[in-house]
């Protein structure tokens, strides 16, 4: 009997826990996935608990096989933990069809039962020792999962751990969801990417048609504003007298150099990663079709989504064009319309920057544009002569003074963030007709982004004193003051989620610069973290798990803001 096929099969099964333990550890080394580390760590804790229980109960084994104490069975406790954790993880964190989840459940359950049965069949344990071990393992899985992936998350301990130097060195990360098949919200997201709203000829018509279709499917009212295809989705509230919430995002994207992309920039190619997550490569995946997508497209994928709830305030999702080229014909024009006034916006949730590490940032102000060209006129003549008072000579002191100011601001940058200093870059020199003729006219252009901490009037006067040609608008700041109920609600979500957030001045410019002067507080925010930031760069991508995580964060934000 001991040499029979069944006996040999049981001998193989009894070594399965060793193979599984090694596989769990190797999977963590390969993926650097936080939950893989937690899974393996819990397995180690379960083994330590088994050693303690055996020494406490001191239950003997059957006389035929084995040495040492037998109560409870270590193999069955291992498998009890294994199936218990699989059930919790797959049920809460894995996104796939119910049939695939059932396949994972049942295959893991059958394997766990067979391994446990093999210990009785081979005479190493009594049935009671196996049963106690199995349920002890399942109890360990439940407690460990709740402690490590639920309570620790709410207390902010996961982010604290991911912020350690060793965690960053090992590149340990925490996707909030793992997918086996593509969620509907991701499918819509990728469809949005494929619409080529790229300058200089963005296809705003196709984009608007797509967004209106999405609104119809979700069950939202939609409207096309006059001008360049601004799409407005509306969710009515219970009290129209209250100030509304506006979710503001832009639909245009910057040009691409396709030869430098690994995947076509408008194919929305999805690439599976070693650790089970997926990267989606597309222009706009970081800046900034991703924001509007997280705010709206996730709604039809989650039964508990915000768009199916009842709230006090009206909520408007506004998809606007032309932000990447100044926004004058987009949000800039829209805020001057009667419809915008009728919306009675009380708070604007704008696009933000991705987090480069475990922290988030939100934007409460931004620098102003001051792109200026200095043009000088001087004496001309043949290049072989020493000509005095040339146009280029007259530009030298202007360039020197502006570049000195640039160096002063660069030194400030060592102690402040990008948005708190004024950036100055010489971006163009123009003039001359051929090499042997001294030009009569020459010009220099600077791109200047003025910090909102600096008086624009005084700065412009400085440029006027240098003889500049310029045109700018005054910028406003949304003060981070919890006495404002909208600000308090916004920050309250981060406190509840134990997220570390840093308020900063936007180093560039967003459409919020048109909204704030209308007396509407506006914060720019993107919930995604731990990113290699590639906005406007080649191979721009988004992680599927972070996108799905962001949907949940936005749901919390909008729900809280709409019920202030």
Residue 468: is its pLDDT beyond 70?
no
Strand runs (DSSP E) across 193-302, as ranges?
Answer: 221-225, 230-235, 244-250, 269-272, 278-281
Strand (E) or helix (H) holding 94: strand 94-95
DSSP code for 59: P
pLDDT band at 12 (very low <50, low <70, confident <90, very high): confident
Q: How far apart are CA 16 and CA 37, in angstroms?
A: 20
Question: In this predicted structure, what is the pLDDT of residue 471?
Answer: 30
Binding residue per annotation — 447? no
Binding residue per annotation — 171? no
Residue 444: is its pLDDT beyond 80?
yes
189 and 547 Cβ atoms separated by less than 8 Å = yes
- CATH number listed for the domain at residues 368-465: 3.30.70.360
Taking residues 223-228, what's their average pLDDT?
78
Which residues are identified as catalytic?
Answer: 252, 323
pLDDT band at 181 (very low <50, low <70, confident <90, very high): low
Residue 306: is its pLDDT beyond 60?
no
Binding residue per annotation — 287? yes
Taking residues 239-262, what's their average pLDDT?
95
The pTM for the full model equals 0.64
Question: In this predicted structure, what is the pLDDT of residue 309?
Answer: 60
Domain ranges of the chain: 5-170, 190-255+286-364+478-561, 368-465
Q: How far apart are CA 368 and CA 508, in angstroms?
A: 8
Is it true that domain 190-255+286-364+478-561 has CATH number 3.40.630.10?
yes
**Residues 472-513 pLDDT 10s:** 233 467 888 888 999 999 999 999 888 889 998 887 789 998
Taking residues 119-126, what's their average pLDDT?
85
Three-state SS for 315-328 is EEEEEECCHHHCCC
Residue 241: is its pLDDT beyond 50?
yes
Phi-psi region of 477 (alpha: psi -120 to 50; beta: other; left: phi over 0): beta
Question: In this predicted structure, what is the pLDDT of residue 302?
Answer: 36
Lowest mean pLDDT among 145-159, 176-190, 217-231, 504-518: 176-190
Domains 190-255+286-364+478-561 and 368-465 share a fold: no
Binding residue per annotation — 324? yes
Q: How far apart are CA 236 and CA 234, in angstroms?
A: 6
Among residues of the chain, what percentage have pLDDT more than 90?
A: 37
Question: In this predicted structure, what is the pLDDT of residue 453?
Answer: 80
Provide the mean pLDDT of the chain. Answer: 84
Best-predicted range by mean pLDDT among 307-311, 313-317, 354-358? Answer: 313-317
Lowest mean pLDDT among 95-104, 325-334, 344-353: 95-104
284 and 278 Cβ atoms separated by less than 8 Å = no
pLDDT band at 301 (very low <50, low <70, confident <90, very high): very low
């Amino acid at each position: 009997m001991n040499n029979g096929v069944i006996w040999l099969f049981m001998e193989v099964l009894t070594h399965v826990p060793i193979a599984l333990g090694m596989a769990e550890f190797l999977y963590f080394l390969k993926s650097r996935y936080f939950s893989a580390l937690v899974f393996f760590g819990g397995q180690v804790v379960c083994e330590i608990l088994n050693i303690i229980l055996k020494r406490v109960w001191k239950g003997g084994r059957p006389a035929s096989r084995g040495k040492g104490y037998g109560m409870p069975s270590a193999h069955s406790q291992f498998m009890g933990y294994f199936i218990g954790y699989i059930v919790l993880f797959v049920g809460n964190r894995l996104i796939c069809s119910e049939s695939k989840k059932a396949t994972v459940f049942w295959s893991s359950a059958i394997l766990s039962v067979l391994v446990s049965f093999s210990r009785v069949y081979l005479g190493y344990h009594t049935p009671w020792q196996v049963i106690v071990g199995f349920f002890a393992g399942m109890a360990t899985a439940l407690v460990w999962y709740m402690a490590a992936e639920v309570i620790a998350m709410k207390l902010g301990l996961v982010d604290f751990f991911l912020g350690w130097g060793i965690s960053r060195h090992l590149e340990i990360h925490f996707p909030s969801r793992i997918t086996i098949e593509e969620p509907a919200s991701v499918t819509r997201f990728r469809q949005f990417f494929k619409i080529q709203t790229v300058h200089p000829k963005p296809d705003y018509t196709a984009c608007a048609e797509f967004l209106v279709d999405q609104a119809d499917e979700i069950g939202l009212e939609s409207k096309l504003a006059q001008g360049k295809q601004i799409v407005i989705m509306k969710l009515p509230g219970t009290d129209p007298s209250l100030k509304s919430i506006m979710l503001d995002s832009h639909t245009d994207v910057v040009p691409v150099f396709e030869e430098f992309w690994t995947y076509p920039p408008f194919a929305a190619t999805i690439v599976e990663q070693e650790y089970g997550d997926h990267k989606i490569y597309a222009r706009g995946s970081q800046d900034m079709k991703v924001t509007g997508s997280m705010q709206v497209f996730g709604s039809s994928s989650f039964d508990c989504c915000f768009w199916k709830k009842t709230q006090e305030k009206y909520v408007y999702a506004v998809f606007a064009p032309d932000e990447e080229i100044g926004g004058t014909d987009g949000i800039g024009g829209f805020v001057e319309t009667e419809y915008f006034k009728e919306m009675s916006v009380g708070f604007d949730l704008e696009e933000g920057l991705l987090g480069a590490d475990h922290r988030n940032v939100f934007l409460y102000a931004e620098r102003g544009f001051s792109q200026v060209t200095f043009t000088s006129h001087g004496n001309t003549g043949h290049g072989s002569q020493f000509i005095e008072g040339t146009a280029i000579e007259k530009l030298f002191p202007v360039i020197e003074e502006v570049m000195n100011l640039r160096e002063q601001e660069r030194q400030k940058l060592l102690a402040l963030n990008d948005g708190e200093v004024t950036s100055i870059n010489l971006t163009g020199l123009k003039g001359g007709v051929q090499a042997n003729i001294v030009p009569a006219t020459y010009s220099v252009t600077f791109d200047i982004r003025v910090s909102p901490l600096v008086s624009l009037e005084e700065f412009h006067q400085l440029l006027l004193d240098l003889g500049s040609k310029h045109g700018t608008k005054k910028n406003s700041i949304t003060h981070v003051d919890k006495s404002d109920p909208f600000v308090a609600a916004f920050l309250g979500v981060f406190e509840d989620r134990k997220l570390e957030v840093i308020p900063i001045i936007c180093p560039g410019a967003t459409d919020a610069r048109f909204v704030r002067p209308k007396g509407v507080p506006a914060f720019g925010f993107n919930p995604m973290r731990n990113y290699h930031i590639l906005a406007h760069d080649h191979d721009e991508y988004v992680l599927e798990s972070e996108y799905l995580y962001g949907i949940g964060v936005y749901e919390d934000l909008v729900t809280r803001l709409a019920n202030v």
